[in-house]
């Protein structure tokens, strides 16, 4: 379908976009990017293979970065509120991305969105004025290259062939594509198609179900922190990097926060920070997988107890528990690990432990900043919220055997 962006620019008797049109377009671009962030957070919990979870973590952060840059430019221009100015047809398309019936359908739908993003970014660049739109040109060149890398990575990873995402036989990709057609594309400026395809199935995504793993991963314990300290280097490294691999539980909590933040009103930096926190936890799990495989150990266990114990908390309490509870509880161990591996001459373990230590300090800062933000118009203090979390955990712990109780 021909894209109408160049036509709009040509009709202005001069190549380029005024502020009003750029704001309209960038608002839609940012909305679709943020829709993908929400969908990827949900499907991170649902896809069974840990390798796919890590991939989705990288994709989520890429979409979050792009949304952050687009909304940053929007804040510099005259314009309107993002959600109040999104056409219902485009809103429906963005809302549906997460509701794919299965993993293959979701990845096909994501590929459809990415290809349309690449097309609309190219169309804007082709019609932009090199002087008047210089800021947007620089930004979209970066974003387009990032989208193209993601398309190539999805194809290389084998999740789906982006080129066939809307071919016969791929019902969800075709359906999602028809939603964007009905909206006039991401730019909402193409000729609108009335041929909306029937929705394949009635599935509605619900993140609150337990985290999914494939048959390779079993639920198991990791032993105490203290039990690993006296082990020889190799055994201690294996034991501790099994714990790193298990930081999938923290990524799961962060993913649930992202999913529930989909419609809340918050500063744009909040959405960037929670996406960054999530991606850090995904990378920490990747650290664990890398070191375990280098030692000839295949990652085969996970313990989602802390995610399970938090997933029924309200958003504020879940985020506070993660950042100002669990992160602080485990913080004293970070420096010990880093220095131990440094003393032992284990260069890669030192690198991973050092980065993890720094990341977790950032997460505590995020927590202090955003919990305070959400309590600005609340009668409670941070301490009140922590007391409510403690009561929740105390009630939960009454029904758990010894050794299963949540730290606080």
pLDDT at 81: 65
- Residue 204 falls within a domain, yes or no? no
The pLDDT value given to residue 13: 57
| pLDDT of residue 189 exceeding 90 | no
Segment among 86-100, 307-321, 368-382, 393-407 with least mean pLDDT: 393-407
Q: Are residues 19 and 163 in the same domain?
A: yes
27 and 133 housed in the same domain = yes
Bridge partners of 301, per DSSP, are 218
Do residues 152 and 246 both lie within one domain? no
- The two tokens of residue 141 are 């060149």
Buried b (16+ CB within 10 A) or exposed e, 342-360: eeeebeebbebbbebbebb
Give a yes or no: residue 191 inside a domain.
no
Provide the CATH number for the domain around residue 378: 1.20.1260.10
* Domain shared by 373 and 305, yes or no: yes
* CB distance 124 to 140 below 8 Å: yes
pLDDT of residue 1: 44
Task: Identify the weakest region by mean pLDDT among 55-69, 211-225, 232-246, 383-397.
Answer: 383-397
- Specify if 19 maps to a domain: yes
Question: Does residue 405 sit within a domain?
Answer: no
Domain assignment of residue 48, given as a range: 5-182
Give yes or no: residues 265 and 335 share one domain.
yes
Which 3 state secondary structure label does DSSP give 53?
Answer: helix
What span, in angstroms and rounded, lies between the C-alpha atoms of 81 and 94?
17
Q: What residues contact 190, with CB distance under 8 A and at least 6 apart?
A: 1, 2, 3, 4, 181, 184
Domain presence at residue 166: yes
Same domain for 99 and 32?
Answer: yes
**Together in a domain, 239 and 176:** no
Q: Is residue 198 part of a domain?
A: no
Instruction: Give 219's strand partners.
Output: 302
Q: What is the dihedral of CA 315, 318, 323, 325, to 10 degrees?
A: 150
Residue 12's CATH number: 1.20.1260
| Mean pLDDT confidence for 197-216 | 92
Residue 151 shares a structural domain with residue 243: no
Overall residue count recorded for the chain in this entry: 408
Same domain, yes or no: 15 and 137: yes
Indicate the number of domains in the chain.
2
Angle between helix axes 233-245 and 268-294 (nearest 10 degrees) is: 140
In a domain, 209, yes or no: no
């Amino acid at each position: 379908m021909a894209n109408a962006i160049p036509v709009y620019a040509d009709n202005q008797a001069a190549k380029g976009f005024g502020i009003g049109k750029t704001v309209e377009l960038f608002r839609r671009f940012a909305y679709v990017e943020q829709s993908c962030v929400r969908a990827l957070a949900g499907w991170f919990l649902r896809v069974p293979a840990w390798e796919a979870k890590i991939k989705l973590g990288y994709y989520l952060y890429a979409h979050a970065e792009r949304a952050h840059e687009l909304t940053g430019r929007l804040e510099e221009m005259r314009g309107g509120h993002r959600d109040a100015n999104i056409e219902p047809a485009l809103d429906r398309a963005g809302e549906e991305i997460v509701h794919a019936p299965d993993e293959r359908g979701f990845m096909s739908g994501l590929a459809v969105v990415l290809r349309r993003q690449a097309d609309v970014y190219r169309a804007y660049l082709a019609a932009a004025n090199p002087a008047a739109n210089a800021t947007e040109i620089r930004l979209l060149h970066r974003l387009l290259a990032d989208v193209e890398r993601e398309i190539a990575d999805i194809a290389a990873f084998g999740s789906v062939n982006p080129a066939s995402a809307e071919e016969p036989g791929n019902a969800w990709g075709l359906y999602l594509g028809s939603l964007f057609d009905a909206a006039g594309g991401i730019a909402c400026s193409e000729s609108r198609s009335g041929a909306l395809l029937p929705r394949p199935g009635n599935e509605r995504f619900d993140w609150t179900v337990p985290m999914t793993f494939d048959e390779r991963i079993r639920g198991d314990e990791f032993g105490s922190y203290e039990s690993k300290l006296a082990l020889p280097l190799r055994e201690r490294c294996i034991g501790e990097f099994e714990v790193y691999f298990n930081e999938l539980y923290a990524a799961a909590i962060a993913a649930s926060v992202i999913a529930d933040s989909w419609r809340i009103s918050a500063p744009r930096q909040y959405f960037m920070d929670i996406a960054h926190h999530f991606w850090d936890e995904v990378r920490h799990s990747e650290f664990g997988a890398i070191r375990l495989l280098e030692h000839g150990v295949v990652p085969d266990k996970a313990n989602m107890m802390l995610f399970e114990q938090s997933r029924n908390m309200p958003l504020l309490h879940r985020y506070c528990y993660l950042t100002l509870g669990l992160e602080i509880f485990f913080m004293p161990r970070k420096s010990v690990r880093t220095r131990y591996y440094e003393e032992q001459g284990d260069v890669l373990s030192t690198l991973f432990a050092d980065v993890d230590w720094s990341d977790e300090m950032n997460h505590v800062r995020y927590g202090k900043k955003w919990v305070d933000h959400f309590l600005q118009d609340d009668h409670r203090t941070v301490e009140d919220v922590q007391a409510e979390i403690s009561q929740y955990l105390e009630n939960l712990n009454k029904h758990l055997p010894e050794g299963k109780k949540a730290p606080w």
